[in-house]
């Protein structure tokens, strides 16, 4: 298809304007076909950027530039007209100035390259909850990743019609080529981090990205569209765009419920989405591992779709033990970025579950090193980058639920929030009400190590709703949006249809620093308790902080004593008093008068109950 054959006048003009600005050598409208995918890989292999993997059919390894290995949060901008609308947790730039700067950078940026125009659907094509985006990019690596992560092609243009709504997503790796020049094995990008831009214009629902070819900076359907821009759309249109997994859980009586869960990075969200239950007779299946879009149905229930079509997962730490189903999902047709390359032509990473075969291995920077005999991570000597990734089609997951592509979505019975907390926060806690649940989401936090961020070891980084880097507007307004949706449902007499809200913590430690809860498949015991709570089973005690499991309501996993279970499921009054003052003084205070008053009321009410 040629640009002048595009039926949508707005799309055609947008593409033509950008062709004039970016001056690519040629333009291709992507059709999402296997032929197109294979052609992109030929280009990438001959440019020395992709290595075919002997051990995995139709799978390839890429090594990015060391400047281009993760989301560039400091270069991610929320460019709303009013600075106040971006809020204290986002980087703001004036949209007129930012567009001027970036238009200057985009000028001639695709010289010597092909411009690819990727029409994609986030969510099953044509679903009422789905949205269409079109990404302009000069990166064939982006094209193949978008093929896996979204639904690409002509069917999307058909749904878009002549005047449908789409989110324009501009992307360039910022590396024009001179005549005769080739990438020659060097990952093309702007190596100066300060010159990378990942910009969002929430008032006009646009994305402009420049200088990075990696992950969330470049695959614009994911964090940029499906979270930052979608959160603004959801605010304006009355729905929810959340950083949540979606799972299906079936009990031994074959009853089914769906649950959506938000956990900050490094808390095992993908593992939870693909969990293998240890609890007999229970089954967990996956709908999505990262993002949920949810709209109320006429029946008052909240229906969720996974807007994505693949997994873009962190590789290190993924093993048959930590995530059996992820390991099965990446056996073929997968893309690996910044992993190690073994002598026998396979990928390898730290904590993959086995040492590397052979004598030598190529690390993520392309250097040959002795093959590690164990899979332990050695600081500063990593074979795979800590944020090395796999991209795999969701339908390769052995436990993908049959309804994962249902255009009407699945009805959500429960929300789960959680974080990595060594103390205070119990194993599981159900909110007393919707408002209390929003309060729980708003104080979500996770402990970090000093090495990871410039913060005191063990201190809590608050990551409300796990949306801190992903909310496209002021987080105080975002909390209010959640409150408003709950109030509307209650005012309409549909409050009982709202999902129940829970807070979990798999990461409590004892005085010696050992984890008290085994996690992984044993988390099914907690999911089962939540399942029964959704059916109003009498398995809880009412406490100052919420509804906690009754003694014996969660059967202890092997090796966990009754005393430990009771500690995991009780109120740490002193710890909670500290938590409350930390939230009031260091967290809520940041949001000024946009922090909804009812959340302060909730804080006061918990404090009062703790003191009584
Ligand atoms: C992700 C993230 O890549 O949350 O999913 O950073
Ligand atoms: Mn994520």
Q: Per-residue pLDDT for 1 more than 80?
A: yes
- How confident is the model over 473-477, as a mean pLDDT? 98
Residues carrying an active site annotation? 267
To test ligand 1's pocket by mutation, which of 218, 245, 290 has the most ligand atoms within 8 angstroms of CB?
290
**What per-residue confidence (pLDDT) applies to 449?**
60
To test ligand 1's pocket by mutation, which of 70, 71, 471 has the most ligand atoms within 8 angstroms of CB?
71
Q: Per-residue pLDDT for 530 more than 50?
A: yes
Give residue 139 CA to ligand 1 midpoint distance, Å.
21
- How confident is the model over 541-556, as a mean pLDDT? 98
Q: Per-residue pLDDT for 453 more than 60?
A: no
Together in a domain, 76 and 222: yes
Strand 114-122 relative to strand 91-92, pairing: unpaired
Query: Atom of ligand 1 at shortest distance to CA of 290?
Result: 5
Buried b (16+ CB within 10 A) or exposed e, 279-290: beebbbbbbbbb
Together in a domain, 116 and 203: yes
With cut-offs at 50, 70 and 90, classify the pLDDT of residue 459: confident
Give the residue whose CA is nearest to atom 4 of ligand 1.
Answer: 265
Smallest-distance ligand from the CA of 387: 1
Q: What is the CATH number of the domain that holds 329?
A: 2.170.8.10
Q: Per-residue pLDDT for 452 more than 50?
A: no
What is the domain count for the chain?
3
Answer with the one of 396, 418, 436 that is the final residue of a domain.
396
Q: 161: closest CA among 116, 126, 203? A: 126
Give residue 117 CA to ligand 1 midpoint distance, Å.
25
Together in a domain, 489 and 392: no
Please answer whether residues 260 and 415 qualify as being in contact, where contact means their C-beta atoms are separated by less than 8 angstroms.
Answer: yes
**What per-residue confidence (pLDDT) applies to 456?**
62
Q: How far is CA 189 from the centre of its chain?
A: 23
Please answer whether residues 357 and 406 qualify as being in contact, where contact means their C-beta atoms are separated by less than 8 angstroms.
Answer: no
Together in a domain, 578 and 480: yes
- How confident is the model over 136-145, as a mean pLDDT? 98
Strand 60-62 relative to strand 50-52, pairing: antiparallel
User: For residues 224 and 487, what is the distance between their CA atoms, to the nearest angstrom?
Assistant: 29
Residue 356 lies in a domain: yes
Smallest-distance ligand from the CA of 216: 1
Together in a domain, 231 and 263: no
User: For residues 332 and 343, what is the distance between their CA atoms, to the nearest angstrom?
Assistant: 18
Q: What is the CATH number of the domain that holds 205?
A: 3.40.449.10
Together in a domain, 14 and 113: yes
**What per-residue confidence (pLDDT) applies to 111?**
98
Residue 58 lies in a domain: no
Q: Per-residue pLDDT for 269 more than 90?
A: yes
Residue 63 lies in a domain: no
**What per-residue confidence (pLDDT) applies to 448?**
76
Lowest-pLDDT choice from 122-136, 359-373, 439-453: 439-453
Answer with the one of 370, 396, 422 that is the final residue of a domain.
396
Together in a domain, 507 and 529: yes
**What per-residue confidence (pLDDT) applies to 451?**
46
Residue 216 lies in a domain: yes
Together in a domain, 118 and 140: yes
Query: Atom of ligand 1 at shortest distance to CA of 215?
Result: 3
Lowest-pLDDT choice from 66-75, 112-121, 156-165, 594-603: 66-75
pTM tops 0.95, yes or no? yes
- How confident is the model over 448-466, as a mean pLDDT? 72
Percent of the chain with pLDDT strictly greater than 70: 98
Rg (C-alpha) for the chain, rounded Å, is: 24
Ligand 1 neighbours by CB, cut-off 6 Å: 71, 216, 265, 290
Residue 48 lies in a domain: no
Percent of the chain with pLDDT strictly greater than 90: 96
The 3-state DSSP composition of the chain as helix, strand, coil percent (nearest 5) reads 30, 20, 45
- How confident is the model over 354-372, as a mean pLDDT? 98
Together in a domain, 325 and 292: no
DSSP 8-state class, residue 487: H
Boundaries of domain holding 441: 242-306+404-611
Tokens of 125: 């094509």
Answer with the one of 396, 416, 449 that is the final residue of a domain.
396
Helices (H), 221-309: 230-237, 269-273
598-610 confidence digits (pLDDT tens):
999 999 999 999 9
Mean pLDDT, the chain, whole residue set: 96
């Amino acid at each position: 298809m040629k640009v002048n054959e595009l039926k949508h006048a707005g799309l055609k003009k947008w593409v033509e304007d950008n062709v004039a600005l970016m001056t690519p050598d040629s333009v291709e409208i992507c059709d999402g076909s296997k032929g197109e995918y294979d052609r992109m890989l030929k280009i990438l292999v001959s440019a020395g950027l992709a290595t075919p993997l002997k051990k995995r059919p139709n799978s390839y390894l890429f090594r990015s530039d060391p400047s281009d290995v993760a989301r560039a949060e400091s270069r991610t901008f929320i460019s709303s007209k009013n600075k106040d609308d971006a809020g204290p947790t986002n980087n703001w730039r004036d949209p007129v100035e930012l567009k001027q700067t970036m238009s200057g950078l985009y000028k001639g940026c695709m010289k010597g390259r092909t411009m690819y125009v990727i029409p994609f659907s986030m969510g099953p094509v044509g679903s009422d909850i789905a949205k269409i985006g079109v990404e302009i990019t000069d990166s064939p690596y982006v094209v193949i990743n978008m093929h896996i992560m979204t639904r690409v092609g002509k069917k999307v243009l058909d749904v878009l019609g002549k005047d449908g709504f789409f989110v324009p997503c501009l992307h360039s790796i910022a590396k024009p080529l001179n005549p005769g020049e080739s990438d020659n094995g060097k990952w093309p990008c702007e190596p100066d981090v300060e010159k990378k831009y990942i910009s969002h214009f929430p008032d006009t629902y646009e994305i402009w990205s420049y200088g990075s070819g990696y992950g969330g900076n470049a695959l614009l359907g994911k964090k940029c569209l499906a979270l930052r821009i979608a959160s603004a759309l959801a605010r304006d249109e009355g729905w929810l765009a959340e950083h949540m997994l979606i799972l299906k859980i079936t009990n031994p009586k074959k009853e089914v419920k769906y649950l959506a869960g938000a956990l900050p990075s490094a808390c095992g969200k993908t593992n939870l989405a693909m969990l293998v239950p240890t609890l007999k007779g229970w089954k967990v299946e996956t709908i999505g591992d990262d993002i949920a879009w949810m709209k109320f149905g006429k029946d008052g229930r909240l229906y969720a779709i996974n807007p994505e079509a693949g997994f873009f997962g962190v590789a290190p730490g993924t093993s048959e033990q930590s995530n059996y189903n992820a390991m099965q999902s990446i056996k073929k047709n997968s893309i690996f970025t910044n992993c190690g390359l073994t002598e026998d032509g396979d990928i390898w990473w730290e904590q993959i579950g086995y040492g590397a075969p052979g004598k030598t291995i190529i690390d993520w920077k392309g250097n040959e090193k002795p093959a590690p005999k164990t899979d332990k991570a050695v600081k500063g000597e990593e074979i795979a980058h800590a944020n090395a990734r796999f991209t795999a089609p969701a339908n390769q997951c052995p436990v993908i639920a049959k309804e994962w592509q249902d255009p009407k979505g699945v009805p959500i019975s429960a929300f789960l929030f959680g974080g990595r907390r060594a103390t205070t926060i119990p194993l599981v806690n159900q909110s007393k009400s919707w408002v209390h649940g929003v309060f729980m989401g708003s104080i979500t936090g996770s402990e970090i190590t000093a090495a990871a961020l410039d913060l005191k070891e063990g201190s809590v980084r608050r990551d409300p709703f796990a949306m801190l880097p992903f909310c496209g507007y002021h987080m105080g307004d975002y909390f209010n949006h959640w409150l408003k949706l709950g109030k509307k449902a209650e005012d309409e007499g549909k409050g009982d249809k709202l999902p129940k809200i829970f807070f979990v913590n798999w990461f409590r430690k004892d005085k010696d620093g050992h984890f008290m809860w085994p996690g992984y498949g044993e988390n099914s015991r907690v999911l089962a308790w939540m399942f029964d709570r959704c059916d109003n089973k009498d398995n809880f005690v009412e406490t100052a902080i919420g509804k906690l499991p009754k003694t014996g309501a969660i059967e202890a996993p092997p090796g966990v004593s009754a005393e430990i279970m009771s500690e995991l499921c009780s109120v740490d009054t002193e710890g909670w008093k500290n938590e409350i003052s930390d939230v009031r003084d260091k967290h809520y205070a940041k949001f000024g008068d946009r922090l909804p008053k009812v959340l302060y009321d909730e804080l006061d009410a918990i404090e009062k109950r703790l003191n009584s």
